A = this chain, B = another copy of it.
């Protein structure tokens, strides 16, 4: 049902946790399942120096967030904004169709965190 990459990111999530005094924080909810995702960014000179996520969501939400944080770490804000849930799912080797809605959380949370950072600037 799940690829090895999905199981790996689920069982050993990268960048899970919180950042104190983060430059930007994005929190989004999933209307379909009621789960929540929070994304923390540390931005320096337009570059994402660090990123952490916290979620109450399912394994698919954990795996996609873990992968998404790896994809945006070290990137510019403009590059990070271009990351789509489709790209993240591709990198994981796919997800069952009924779990695609979970992967949207990471994309939305990253955008919300970037928006929060820009508003604070």
**A residues in contact (CB < 8 Å) with B:** 1-2, 10, 33-36, 55-61, 96, 98-99
Give the residue of B34, B61, B98 whose beta carbon is less than 8 angstroms from that of A96: B34
Taking CB atoms, residues of chain B closer than 8 Å to A34 are 96, 98-99
Taking CB atoms, residues of chain B closer than 8 Å to A59 are 35, 55-57
A33 B1 Cβ-Cβ under 8 A: no
Q: How far is the CB of A3 from chain B (nearest CB, A)?
A: 13
B98 A36 Cβ-Cβ under 8 A: no
Complex CA–CA separation, A1 to B36 (angstroms): 10
Taking CB atoms, residues of chain B closer than 8 Å to A60 are 56
Complex CA–CA separation, A96 to B33 (angstroms): 11
Q: How far is the CB of A111 from chain B (nearest CB, A)?
A: 22
Taking CB atoms, residues of chain B closer than 8 Å to A99 are 34
Give the residue of B2, B57, B98 whose beta carbon is less than 8 angstroms from that of A58: B57
A56 B98 Cβ-Cβ under 8 A: no
Taking CB atoms, residues of chain B closer than 8 Å to A10 are 56
Given A2-B56, A35-B58, 17 further pairs, Cβ under 8 A: A1-B36, A10-B56, A33-B33, A33-B58, A33-B98, A34-B96, A34-B98, A34-B99, A35-B59, A55-B59, A56-B58, A56-B59, A56-B60, A57-B58, A57-B59, A58-B58, A58-B61
